[in-house]
Amino acid sequence: MAGMGMTLAALAVRHGCELRGDPDVTVDHVATLAAAGPGALAFLANPQYRPQLAATRASAVVLDAQSADACPAACLVSSNPYLAYAHMAADLHPLPPPRPGVAGSASVAGSARLGTGVQVDAGAVIGEGAVIGERAIIGPNAVVGAGCVLGEDTRIMAGVVLGDRVRIGRRCLIHPNAVIGADGFGNARGPGGAWTKVPQVGGVMIGDDVEIGALTSVDRGAIGDTVIGNGVRLDNQIQVGHNVTIGEHTAIAAQVGISGSTQIGARCIIAGKVGFAGHLTVADDVVISGGASVTRSIGKPGVYGGAIPADEARQWRKNAVRFGQLDQLVRRLHALEAALGRRGAK
């Protein structure tokens, strides 16, 4: 879908790119190299797609200097083409502005405070004492619990549920059906194995410029707060347990599970399906590969992993048997080493 048109000259100046081509060419939407046509802006950041460059019909391509000579269209040359493309795509496809007003079927508590230009859609519920910042959007059927505080320009999409006393900063985006501030999983075991629920009396505190994906859950703290720092990116279907702390600008992919009281540092990258045991600490600038199981703290920056890649089924079954024999093999190895040591001593 076409957005607002901009000349290549304007994009180059705005985003600090070298322009190779006609500065008056206008682009009004983004597209892939293979699907682009006239008026489209495409990009090349992954060398895997380099073969598609020669045949592209895009009006312009964002790429690096090494690829520019092979481009048949106008070029916007950047040392970080993906980042430059992200900024340009936002220019061409801006988010729709809020439509100020409260839908007739919405329910807004009398003690709630709504800033100037707030949009509250059909079926939304805003609880007692909630404070909604200017130009915020509360989507259809979303629930904002009592005492919640939302910053300016934050967008709460359809079906999102914010529990009581959740605090969200400015310019955040919470995607549909995310749940922020549900009770954490706190239970004490008593006689006979019966469970007693531990009251979850903390909250959730989310910084500025945070994006949280669809169906992701962030539990409230048991006593203190669960904290998500500025600029964090959470993908869809992530579980963040109670009293977890996530440092600024960390990005976490889908289906990650973070057990309670884990502390993840700043600028980390967590790939999909990683699992964290509770009460761990992860340093700043850590990368964890997909499917890893993190069972102890990580004290220094680096790349960590632990998943076993998929294999042909017959080979996998053989290896699975051998995995179960590792302890026995280690014991035999130690015995052999000890026997050889005794022989050497003689």
Q: Are strands 269-270 and 251-252 parallel, antiparallel or unpaired?
A: parallel
Q: Give the 3-state secondary structure of residue 81.
A: helix
The Cα–Cα gap between 284 and 300 comes to 7
Q: What is the largest CA-CA distance in the chain?
A: 94
Answer yes or no: 93 catalytic.
Answer: no
Rounded to 5 degrees, what angle do the CA atoms 267, 171, 128 make? 120
Tokens of 308: 């076993």
Concatenating the DSSP letter of every residue in 201-217 gives ---EEE-SS-EE-TT-E
Buried b (16+ CB within 10 A) or exposed e, 219-242: bbbbeebbbbbbbbbbbbbbbbbb
Contacts of residue 172, Cβ cutoff 8 Å, sequence gap at least 6: 150, 151, 154, 155, 206, 208, 209, 210, 211, 212
Tell me the angle at which helices 326-345 and 313-324 cross, rounded to the nearest 10 degrees. 50
The Cα–Cα gap between 336 and 333 comes to 5
List 29, 175, 242, 249, catalytic entry = 242
Rounded to 5 degrees, what angle do the CA atoms 276, 171, 234 make? 20
Q: Are strands 74-77 and 18-20 parallel, antiparallel or unpaired?
A: antiparallel
Tokens of 284: 């700043």
- For the chain, give the number of residues: 346
The Cα–Cα gap between 173 and 240 comes to 17
**Other CB atoms within 10 Å distance of the CB of residue 198:** 15
Mind telling me the catalytic residues? 242
